[in-house]
Amino acid sequence: MEYHWNFDVVWSNLPFLLMGLEYTVLLTAVSMSLGLMLGLSIALIRIRFTRIRAAIVLYVETFRATPLLVQLVWIYNALPASGLRFDPFWSAVIALTLNLGAYLSEIFRAGIISVSKGQTHAGLALGMTPAQVARVVVLPQAVRRIIPPVASMWVGLFKDTSLASAIAVAELSYRANILSARTYRPVEILTAVAVLYFVITYPQARMAHWISNATRVRE
Amino acid sequence: MTPDMLRISDVHKRFGTHEVLCGVTLTVRRGEVIAIIGPSGSGKSTLLRCINGLERIDSGDIWVDGNSVVDAAADLPRIRRKIGMVFQHFNLFPHMSVIRNVAVGPMVVLRKPRSEAYELARGLLDRVGLTGKEEATPYQLSGGQQQRVAIARALAMEPSVILFDEPTSALDPELVNEVLLVMRHLAKQGMTMIVVTHEISFAEQAASRVVMFDRGNIVEEGTPRQVLQQPRQERTEVFLRQLEHTVDP
Amino acid sequence: MSRGVALEMFSPLIWHQLPFLLVGFRTTLYVSGICLVLATVVGIVVALGLLSRLFVVRAIAGLYIDFFRSTPLLIQLVWVYYALPLLTGYSMTSLEAGILGLTLYEGSYLTEIFRSGIMSVATGHIDAGRALGMTSWQVFHQIVLPQAAVRMLPAFTGQALTLLKDSSILSIIAVQELLWQAESVIPITLHSMQMLTVVAILYFAVGFPVALLSNRLHARWAFDQGA
């Protein structure tokens, strides 16, 4: 059976789809920024305040062992119940941030721990406070080991934003589905969107891969 | 200004069930150079790390220049400013240039302006014989050079006492002397120094007092002549004889 | 959670719906299991393709990986379910589409894991095998495969966990797995939080042990994936 391709429906709706891409990028950038702050805070708190370690581990393991989609839907439903704002975009941001925070805190923690204790001792011996040691000595060295996995997470996050379509965030995937249904031409629309994702994601993936190799730690 | 720079009194420390320091008592006067010798695992390095609070002691007291290290708690950073430390593995900051390594203490801890700190650092690097290496990174230097930078880094804080934890043990033999030279200079200039070392020559020539340490406590102490040439304790004798066999003529 | 909501957790309504949810959970496990097996096969085949001496084979394998890893699973699933039937003329159930899509997606990640595992076996061992007179196939079978298998176990376990979590995305094309079941029940019971919490707990109950296993394996066989 021959299928007759006709991409007119894509061209005429391109602005609509590109707006979705904008939301995708926005969602990724905002969630990653907040997620980085959250992840770093948690990693530092976990190292400093060993008493609430259990609570932190619970948070981290829960968000890593359950699907992101479930987290998105859960939070989307939970927010109205707590009386907070329920704009889908921000629900998605919250869910993505919490999810990212869990993964990033582990990445930060591993990076921080990888800096040898002697470095910390040297900083303390000079009379630095633990905070100063973290800021001046440890973190700059940890960053080298943290960047590759974070770059990887960015690429993953970019694709994961597609799940926000399930809670009606008007990003690219959501618009792709709406459009397919509206125009009855899922083949062209979905193929075009797949290509669009590929064209944006693939270069980023290669860059992340390059970063991984370039910052291979040479001791 | 008390003449006693450092007072260690009846210090005990346990790691798990193993008692590493068993009632150590030692007094160090201003300007003294103490060489601590003894077999590995005797607790010498641990003692050093207890002096500047990198390790916490279980009982006893440690006083540095009138301040109790034990009671310091949150004030420990302030006390540590006056206690310099040079580590066996240098522990230079690899992500900083040599001059920044030396200047970072005064800048971050003493809040000196960058120009002043760098000026100070340049002077110190000159003092340890490393003029021209300011912009190098630690990786580009030999072990001996790195350790001299580490000494300059400690000096930048203008400490009252400097602790040396086996400063030449990680160095290739031909690089040991350049470091010992700097240390001998410091001693001559009147710096109070506590040096854990295997370099008997240094102990003989630069130390004002030698302390023999074994199994968590002081076995004997005295002038270099007394301890190294006419040891009273058998353990000291045995240890010195063992060292003789491993030292190149 | 407010106290009122917490008390409702134990209301009879939950217990009433639980069997229904468990049916979905069973589908989740079943789909995950099938896809894991199929994706493993795909992964091995494509990994060997990547290591082939023929450029064309390597290129195709590379393209497969690049494409399937640079587009979201959601889009792939939707494409397989809605677009593919129009192109081929063969209709598909959502379950079939889901399994196909998930298999191809996870297969691309497993390919990389298998390839790294195979490449990590020191060439010295391979040379030794050849020197003993083994054929290429024997070398692969006796020397490379056993060692590679052990080295990729940690990453493989991690990917299996990812696969389990990704199976929840099949709910979007109406595969009746756990999340779908919960969502279909919510309008009836109006107890969204309880249902979704039970869903999370069920995933956690399987996911956490697998994560622990993966961690333990990673710790024992620290292996750099980046090669």
Q: Which tens digit of pLDDT belongs to each residue from B95-109? A: 999 999 999 999 999
Q: C226 pLDDT exceeds 70?
A: no
Question: Which residue of chain B has the CA closest to A219?
Answer: B139
- Complex ipTM over 0.95: no
- Those residues of chain B whose CB sits closer than 8 Å to some CB in chain A are 49, 52, 54, 77-81, 83-85, 87, 89, 91-95, 104-105, 108-109, 153-154, 157
CATH class of C3-220: mainly alpha
**Interface with chain C: mutation pick from A154, A172, A190, A211, highest number of C CBs within 10 Å:** A190
Look up residue B93 and give its DSSP letter. -
- Alpha-carbon distance of B143 to A20, in angstroms, equals 57
Token representation of residue B154: 């400690």
Going by pLDDT thresholds of 50, 70 and 90, the confidence category of residue A219 is very low
Overall pTM surpassing 0.90 (yes/no): no
Contact criterion met (CB below 8 Å) for A83 and A41: no
Cβ of A113 under 8 Å from any chain C Cβ? no
Q: Write out residues 141-200 of A within 8 Å (CB-CB) of B.
A: 141
A32 or A52, greater pLDDT? A32
User: Which residues from chain A sit within 8 angstroms of residue C86, using beta carbons?
Assistant: 3, 186-187
Contact criterion met (CB below 8 Å) for B35 and B200: no
- Alpha-carbon distance of C95 to C77, in angstroms, equals 11
pLDDT by residue (tens digit) across B161-214? 999 999 999 999 999 999 999 999 999 999 999 999 988 889 999 999 999 999
pLDDT by residue (tens digit) across B10-19? 999 999 889 9
The per-residue pLDDT for A119 is: 96
Lookup result for tokens 């959670």: C1
Contact criterion met (CB below 8 Å) for A157 and A149: no
The per-residue pLDDT for B230 is: 85
Going by pLDDT thresholds of 50, 70 and 90, the confidence category of residue A48 is confident
Question: Residue B4: in which H helix or E strand, if any?
Answer: strand B4-15
A8 or A136, greater pLDDT? A136
The full set of domain ranges for chain C reads 3-220
Mean pLDDT lowest among A146-150, B73-77, B154-158: B73-77
User: Which residues from chain B sit within 8 angstroms of residue A141, using beta carbons?
Assistant: 93-95
Question: Residue C216: in which H helix or E strand, if any?
Answer: helix C192-220
Contact criterion met (CB below 8 Å) for B207 and B34: yes
Question: For C223, phi and psi rounded to 5 degrees?
Answer: -145, 125
CATH architecture of A8-214: Orthogonal Bundle (1.10)
Mean pLDDT over B61-88 rounds to 89
Which of A118, A119, A126 is closest, CB to CB, to B109? A126
Taking only Cα atoms into account, the Rg of chain B, rounded to an integer number of angstroms, comes to: 18
Going by pLDDT thresholds of 50, 70 and 90, the confidence category of residue C32 is very high
Mean pLDDT over B228-249 rounds to 79
